[in-house]
Every structure is written in C-alpha cells, then in structure tokens.
Structure 1
C-alpha cells in the first residue's frame, strides 16, 4: 500500500517543515532506535501463566473477554511474542511474571523458583537480541487468598512471600548477567482491605520489614534494578491499600530504588504525567507501567490519547529518556491479543516520536520570556505537522509494516496459527 518512493517524498517534506524550527529529523529517527519499550508477556494469555493454567485469577486481577487463540504454553506465547515484535519498529524488551516459569510438569511453589525455570526464556531473548525484566507474582495463590502477602499478620505467610521475592531478584540478576542488560525487577502486591480498617499503620510496618529483608542482599545494579509499585485501590481493596504511593515514594527514596508509576493505579482524575518531573527531582530513575484506565485499574490497550502524549512529553522535554524505564501493562481478552500488543507498543513509540519532534527549546524560551501566546499558538499548529510521515519512514527503515499494513499480517497469523488452537 505504501511505496518507498511516497514514503521518502513525505519524509523529505516533513524534514523541511520541522527543519524550520531547527529540528534535525534524521537525528530524531536515530534517537528512536535507542528507545526500548518493555512489552508485557501477560497480554498474551490473560495473566494465566504456566504454574497452574487452570487456576483462577485473584488479588484484584481481572482479564475480561474470551477471544479465541490465547497462548496455552510458553512455546506458543514465545511464538506470539515473536510475531508481535516483528510488527513493531525498534529493538525492545520483554517483561515476565514469575508464573511464566517452565518446570517440565513438576510442581514448583513460588518460594522454590530458580533461574533454571526461566532458562528457555533467556535462550529465546538471546536469539531475539532483547532484554528481559521480571516481577514476583504475589497474587492468584492460596497464600494470597485473604488479600495479604508481604504485610500479612501471619509471619509464616510473610516468610513465604519474602523468599519468593528474594528468589525473584536472583532471577533478575541472572537475566542481567546472561543478556548484558540490567533487568528491572518490580514488586507489586495487592494487600489491602475492602472496607475501612482500624489499624492502617501496622500492615505498612510489616510491609516495610518484609521489603527490608527482601532487599538485604546487595545485587549489582549492572545486572538488576529493583522497583516498587504503588496502587490507590483495587477489587477487594477499595478502601485501603498497604502499598500506597506515599509509602513507596518514601521507601524508594530511602533505599535508592526505582519507583514504579502505573497509569491505572491512581485516582481517575490523577495523571502520572504530572508526577514524572516531581519524582525525578529526588529519584535517579523511574519505572512506568503505561496503561489506560477507563473506570478503574481496567488496563485497557494503550491508545494515542492526550495522557499518553503527556507522558511522552514529560519524558522527552526534560531529557529523561535515559532515566525512565517504560513498560506496558494491559490485558484485553476481548480482542486479538497480538493486535493489542502491537497497537499499544506502536502507540507508545508514536507518542515519544511526536514529543521528540517538538521544538522544546524554543517553546521553553517563549515560556520563560512570558510569551504565552506564542507558546500556545505553536503548540497548536504543531498538532497538524506531518509526524506520521516520520513515523512511516521509521517503520520502513526498520523493515516493519507501514501504516495499517501490520493488521493484514495479524489477520493472516490468526487464520494460520491462532484458529488452530481451538480445534
């Protein structure tokens, strides 16, 4: 549909227009090559994992829909991921949860997981030339059924989850050593109360002690970066969540950790784009989980909306690309799962590209000099600039489908591969 000649003609026109503002479009395209989005494995199988494929999701996790063709094994999931990566420009990463281990059919509880249970993932990542990130899985387990894990009042249950998280950090270290790029190992837990608790302090005191034990072993940041993730509320924890934003902001500052900001883990009118610049005044690095909340933490597929563009702007404008780790977090089982990955990841990249094509220095100068009229006028005119021409060129240079052509490949894959999983 898109000829090389037309793509190049449009790109030359875009270079001319953006060049008027001193933007070197060639350098922007080159900078995009250095962007790595951490794509989440759990979109491919509705957060089921391979620990117990028949197990029910608990802990505030809910995937809705029953679109045919979900991955039923690690091999099928890797196949689907490979298809998705082939339709996304650039070289990216994969984010794994602990429940995506491979045990050869042997029962392995979460306090027993080891790097060998993820060796096939490492082999696959080496073949693809990508990095891996990791997450302990503190939900969908009998020892999390009452809604508490690392802050549980039962010491034995806390010890179980502490050991799980310790082992998860060692798996992250293993990924970093094997792949030559540090894994981000992110801790999120669902702990909280459905109704208003009398004692809000003690669970947080227990959580702090558990985290202190988990992080007691020093692991070189060349191999593993620790992150902690907050949440405001969730299913079953509508009134109180132990790991709140304030708790983890303080904990990450005190312990030199990455703070994870998830777009769905705040009040519906509260945006993580507004938090990035504030947090990076005090933290060295941030982790983002980019999602799209609709009514709650519903984890809809990322679209190119105002908030996604604002997130990208607050990464690019201050020059934070090397201080912000961008991960995605959504799981929609009502549509083709590979299409969901491709749509969400391509949109995150589009938002970053648009932000990179902005004449930020000039706009800052207008702002500093009080010329707010010029700031508004130029920002609005830039919305009609041909960033799509640069995007199409970037895709063509990376040998991935331009425009909507990727969707034809997804439909073909659905017909040839996914449809056969239901027979």
Structure 2
C-alpha cells in the first residue's frame, strides 16, 4: 500500500502514522489495521476527505556494470537509461461504509502502454468475538499476496521500486509475481486477537481481456481455480510489533494456454516481520520470507519445453531498514534463488541449465515531504533514492553464465529514482 495522499486526507492523519519512514509501502501497526479494515477509516475534514483519488510518478535512471547486448525497450539504449518508469492514477480509499479500494492504473514510457496494475477491492465488517474485536472481510484482487499487510510476501516485498531496464534472474517461484495482473480472485479473511487467516482462489483472465488491459500473458491458463491461503499471528506492544506466518498457493497451468496436460505448481512458505518504533525519530524494521515450490511439469515435458517432468525451486529474502526522523533511510537486503537444473527451462539463459541466483541490495533514501508539518502535507509526498543491486551468482554461475562471456557482476545495477505521490 503506497503512502497515498487520498488515505491521509480521508483519515486526517499524516502518512507517518501508517508508513515506516513516512512513505509507503512498509506499514506500521496502524497501517496494517487500516488495510485490514478495508481502507475505510474516516476522520478527515473538508471536501477533499471524501475524494478517493491520488496519483504517483516515478522517474528513474539506471546504470549497469556492463551494457546489455540488446536494447531493453524501444526508447532505451543498452546502458545508462533515464525513464518515466511509472505514472499511476489510483482509486484509493473509502467507497462507502466498511468498503474501500486500492486500484492502480499505470503508464510507463519503457513499453509505452497503460496497464491495469494493482487491484484490491475490500469490504470489512467490524464484529465482536468472545469479547474482542473481530474483523471479517472479503477482497477481490488480481495478484496472490496483493492482500497481505505485513510487507513480507512478494507483492509488497523490498525493493519497493526497482529498475525495469536491467537483467533479472531466469526463474522464481510462481507466487513471486508469476500470476501478477493476469488473474482475478477473491479471498475471505478474518483478524481476531492477533490471528489472521485468509482463504481464496484465482482464475486466469481470458486472452482478450489481457490484451484490453495491456497485460502480458506469460503464465499460461489456470485449470479451474488456484487456491491461495494464509495464516499469521501479529502482535503490537506499542513500541514493538512482530508477525509470523505461513502461506501457500497451488495452481495447475496450461503452458501457452494449450489444451491437454498441465504443469502443477505447489508453493508453500514461511515469513516473519519485526518493527521497533520507539518514537518517530527512530524506526527499525526487519522482514523475511522463504518459499519452496514443488513442480510437476507434465505439460511442458510433453511439449519438450522441459527436460524433466518434475523439479523444485526455492526463494529466500531478508531485509532490514532504519529511518531517522521519518526522513533519512537505509535498507539492506539479501536474496537467494535455488532450484533443480533443467536444460529445457533454463538452457537458453544458463550454460549450466541452472536457475540459481543470489546477491544483495542496498538503498539509501531521503523523504523531504510526507511527514507531519512538511511542505504541502498531505498533498505532496516525495522520496529520492539511490539503490545498488549486486549479484554473486546469476543463472547458475559467477562467470560466463550465458556462454557469451557475461558474468554475474556485469548485471550489477545502480538505480536512482524520484518517487512522488499527490
């Protein structure tokens, strides 16, 4: 959930009430409860408090350690590219009692398209169970893990913005963005006495719909419904807060949307988060998650697109951040992807037919606008950042991973960005 001015106007609270560091998407305990409550809390005054509209612009510059062999986009060169990476409009906030929206439409000059980005429509009923507050909600959304409030699962994981003009590892579990924006789903969730539970299912959008919303059809077509589930415990003690949980997704996909055999993906993961928020001058946060994916690739193996009919893929992420005075921030993270070798799946990108990639990310940022009493609050929010991503291993090797002499470190990137919301 980005630090959108519409939310601040609606609630009458500054962005730092809900966001670590005064800018999204990392959530404080107050922000977690606002999301679980359906984005519908009130408290703001004036006509603008009832207008659930916001916008966002992300401008960026990317430098790679070694230029690419091909241009990454129609308007970009092989290295040192500036980009209007995101121009987004949001329907974000309270729609009516207990119901709200976080819906995003985005334009990027990298591919020169307007796409239907994030969708999360919610209804949350405040109830009482055994003398304690109980929230029962339903969400309609277009990305498994989009609904999650703890900043540990892929949809909201660090880095919260990153270059789209560099190289990415050849593989990651399906739950790590593999179905993003290509599906429609609904979940029922409940939050009671610190316990959070969610159960939902997803179906693929048809090819014509995907063309209309300018979303690439990359995953294939889900056979039937893909179930998604989530269990977590959250504890807020005032100065500290933590969560721990488990989650999973199971999907049978027709590769290339072709009839016949399917590929089965079963993802299971564990995650945790910790917040130390003694005051608004010092804020610490740690987030981590591990996903294990078991694959049965009967469809791809039958079509000779995979060398083996089964395999595994794993991903581990860990990051920690510190913010001073809701202004100056430093975040460091590590990531590690491991999996079974397969010449059919990875041979075009890895001489070892290997999906293994790992490295680290460091980001420093400055948020001059977005906290209480800052200029233009709550209409103006700005974060300026510098992010460095380094690869120790890329697609299975440290050196010459693709057979053409390119090393893992050649994909290291320096990413500068200006991210504003209004």
By the TM > 0.5 criterion, same fold? no
Structure number with the higher strand fraction is: 2
TM-score (norm 2): 0.37
TM-score (norm 1): 0.37
Structure number with the higher helix fraction is: 1
